[in-house]
Chains A and B, each alone.
Chain A
C-alpha cells in the first residue's frame, strides 16, 4: 500500500562497482564518492532532481551481488528495495560483465517493480568484443535496456527519460519460468499463501515464495512470525523439491537461475574477437605478478607521499614570504584586544593557506587517482597473505588505505566486511593510520626538519604499529578469519573531471568546516594566552608533555586542540611556541616525539563519533584507550631512549 504522493522515487540498483554512483553524480552533480572498487558506497544517498516537470527523488543504493544480503552495505540496499518506497528501479549493469550482472536483474524482475536497464560501461564491453542486442533484451525480459557510459555522461539523459516513462505505463516483465516441478511447487505454496502476509510484506507473492524456497533467512524469520503453519508447509515442500533434484536445499533455485541467466546472456549477446592486446592488460599482468606487484606497490606508495611532500614544499615556499609580510603589516596596525583577535584570525587563516592546503591538495589528488584506477583491490591482493599473519585480511586493505585520506569514510567502508570480527578489528586499526591531516603534520614537521629518512621511518613505523595492534587484538579474540573473496575490477583510466570533482568535494569540507575551526581555535588560543588560561591547561597536561614525552610544557594546549582537528597541533605550535621556526625551540628528538605522538594518540572528534555510530560506544571507548596507551608507550619510549644518550 502506497500513500499517494507527487514525488517519484527512482532507485539505482546493481552489483558492486557497476557505476551506480557515477550515474547518480552524472544526473545530480557531484554528490557522492565514486571509485573503481567494490564497496565505495556503503549507505544510501538521495537527492532531488527535476525531470520533465516532475520532482524525482533519486536514490543511490550500495551494490549487491544478489537479493540475499551478506554484509551491512548490501542489507541497506535490499531493505530499501523491500520497503515498498521505490517506484522505479534503474538496474545498472556493468555490460563488460553482463553474464554475471544479469543474475541480479533476473531477481529484480521477480519483484515486479517497474524497471529499466542501464547497460553501463557499454564502451568497455564493445572493446572487449561483446555485442549486445538491446531489442532482444526487451523482447525476452520485457524490460527496456539503454546503453550508458556514465563516466562521460553518455546515455544518462535517455535513461532517465525512459525511467520516467516506465513509471507512467503498465509494467509487464517476463518473469522467468523454472522447471515444471519447481513451478508446481510454487503454485502449491501460493495456494496456501496467507493473506496476513500481504500486510507485512508488500511485495508480490511469487517473489517471496522463491525467497523462502531459496532459504533466505531474513524472509524465513518474518514469515515464521506471521504464520508458523504456513512456514512449516514451505519447509516441507522445499525439502521434497531438493530431494527430487538431488541438490542441497539452498542450491535448487540458484542453479536454475544460473542456467536461465546463461541462456539469456547467450540470446542477447554475441562475442566477437577482441581487438588486440590492451596496454592496461600488460600493466596489469605486471601488477598481479607476485614480485613485480610488490615492488610496484612499495614504489607507488613511496612516490605518492614524497610527491605530496615536494609539491607541498614548493607551494608553501612560494606563499610563505608574501604572507609573512602581510602579517607584519596587519598586526602592526592593532593593539590590545584588537591585536589579539587580529593576530589570532590572521594566524589561523595563514595556517590554512600556508601549511595545510599545500600538502593536503597533492595528497587528495593522489588518493583520488588511487581510488579511481583500480589499484586498491590489487594492493589488497598483494598484501592479503601478509595481513593474514596479523589477523586481518585483504578485504580490510581497502578501508585501511582509504584511512590515509580520512579515517571517517574508512571506518564507514568497513560495512562491506562480512564478518563482525573483521569489521571491529579493522575499525580499531584504522585510527592508527596517518590520515591526510596527520600526514600534513608529518610532512610539515618531520619532512621539513628531520629529512626524508625519518619521514619514511615514521610512515613505515606507523604501519608496523598498526599491524602489531591488529596482531595483539586478534590474539584476544581467537576466531579464524575465513579469508577473502573479492572482485578485482579491470584497471581504468581516471577521468580528469571526476578526479577534480572529488578533490574539490573533499577540499570543500576542509574549507567550510575545518578551516573555520582552525581560525576560531587560533583566536581562542591567542585570547587564552592573552589572559593566561593556556598556562592552566598546559600545567594540567604537563605530566604527559614534560613527564612522559619530555616536551616543553607549552605544547600541552596544542596536543589538546589536536583532539578536535589533528592539524591544529601543528598550526597552533607556531603560535604556542611563538616562532615559525620550530627547530629553534624543539630538538630533533622532540620534533620526532611530537610527530609520533600526534599520529598515534586519541583519534579526532569526528573519528570517535563515527566509531560510536558504526561500532557502538564500547568500540569508541576502546579505541580511545588503545590509542592513548599505544601513543604514550611509543612516543614516551622514543623520548626515554633518546634521553639515555
Chain B
C-alpha cells in the first residue's frame, strides 16, 4: 500500500522508499525512513500534498503526491 492511499488519521509504518537515491535521501534527512511510524494529519486542497507527522519526534512534513505514491507503508491503525 502506498502512503498516498492512506486516509487522514491513519497510523502506518514506512516499509520502503521507492523514489530513488535523491528522494530517499531527502526523506530520511527529514526523519522519514524505513521503520518510522507516521500519521497522516491532513491533505491539501487541489490534489495537493499530504501532511504527515513523524510519531517518534512529532515533526510534521509535507509530501507531494508524486512522492507519496512511491512510499510503501503498512497500516497499523485505521483512522478513528
Contacts and interface: CB of A to CB of B under 8 A. Distances in A.
Interface string B28-61: 1111011100000111111111010010111111
Interface SS majority for chain B: mixed
Contact of B26 (A215, A250, A290, A418): A418
Contacts of A488: 51, 60-62
Contacts of B75: none
Please tell me the size bucket of the interface on A: 35 or more
A485 B62 contact: yes
B48 A486 contact: no
B60 A291 contact: no
A97 B58 contact: yes
Interface in A486-518: 486-490
A229 B77 CA distance: 51
Interface stretch (A40-48, A353-361, A386-394, A584-592): A386-394
Interface string B66-80: 110000000000000
B57 A483 contact: no
Contact of B34 (A255, A291, A484): A255
A258 B33 contact: yes
B1 interface: no
A294 interface: yes
Nearest to B47: A385
A485 B64 contact: yes
B19 to A, nearest CB: 8
Nearest to B29: A65
Contact of A254 (B26, B33, B47, B49): B33
A485 B51 contact: no
Given A484-B63, A488-B61, A66 B29 contact: yes
A33 interface: no
Contact of A380 (B26, B42, B62): B62
B62 A258 contact: no
Interface-centre pick from B24, B25, B41 (highest chain A CB count, 10 A):
B25
A485 B48 contact: no
Given A258-B33, A485-B27, A100 B49 contact: no
Given A250-B21, A385-B49, A482-B64, A100 B31 contact: yes
Contacts of B51: 288, 381, 488
Contacts of B44: 290, 293, 381-382, 384-385
Contacts of B27: 485
A394 B46 contact: no
Contact of A483 (B29, B33, B35, B49): B49
Nearest to B66: A483
B26 A485 contact: yes
Nearest to B27: A485
Given A381-B48, A385-B49, A484-B62, A99 B33 contact: no
A377 B43 CA distance: 14
Interface residues of B, number: 37
Contacts of B33: 254-255, 258
A98 B58 CA distance: 10
A198 interface: no
Contact of A70 (B26, B43, B48, B62): B26
Given A255-B34, A484-B62, A100 B54 contact: yes
A68 interface: yes
A204 interface: no
A482 B48 contact: no
A583 interface: no
A385 B45 contact: yes
Contacts of B45: 290-291, 293-294, 382, 385-386
Contact of A394 (B26, B41, B49): B49
Contacts of B31: 97, 99-100, 103
Nearest to B19: A482
A70 B26 CA distance: 8
Interface-centre pick from A103, A485, A487 (highest chain B CB count, 10 A):
A485
Contacts of A262: 56
Contacts of A128: 58
Contacts of B15: none
A96 interface: yes
B54 A485 contact: no
Contacts of A251: 24
B42 to A, nearest CB: 4
Nearest to B60: A488
A487 B61 contact: yes
A50 interface: no
A240 to B, nearest CB: 19
B22 A70 contact: yes
A294 B48 CA distance: 12
A377 B63 CA distance: 12
A289 interface: yes
Given A288-B51, A381-B62, A385-B49, A483 B67 contact: yes
A255 B51 CA distance: 24
A389 B25 CA distance: 26
B7 to A, nearest CB: 14
A488 B48 CA distance: 15
A382 B26 contact: no
B46 A386 contact: yes
Contacts of A380: 62
A386 B34 CA distance: 30
Interface in A100-122: 100, 103
Contacts of B21: 215, 250
Contacts of A98: 57
Contact of B30 (A377, A385, A487, A490): A487
Contacts of A68: 25
Contact of A389 (B28, B46, B65, B67): B46
Contacts of B34: 255
26 contacts: A65-B29, A66-B29, A70-B22, A99-B56, A99-B57, A100-B59, A250-B24, A258-B33, A258-B35, A262-B56, A288-B51, A290-B44, A293-B45, A294-B45, A380-B62, A381-B48, A382-B48, A384-B62, A385-B45, A393-B64, A394-B62, A480-B66, A483-B49, A485-B27, A486-B61, A487-B61
Interface of B: 21-31, 33-35, 41-49, 51, 54, 56-67
Given A99-B57, A386-B45, A386-B46, 17 more contacts: A98-B57, A103-B29, A128-B58, A258-B28, A288-B51, A291-B45, A380-B62, A381-B49, A384-B64, A385-B46, A389-B46, A393-B64, A418-B26, A482-B23, A483-B63, A484-B64, A484-B67
Nearest first, the 4 closest Cβ-Cβ pairs linking A and B are: A483-B64, A385-B48, A65-B29, A385-B46
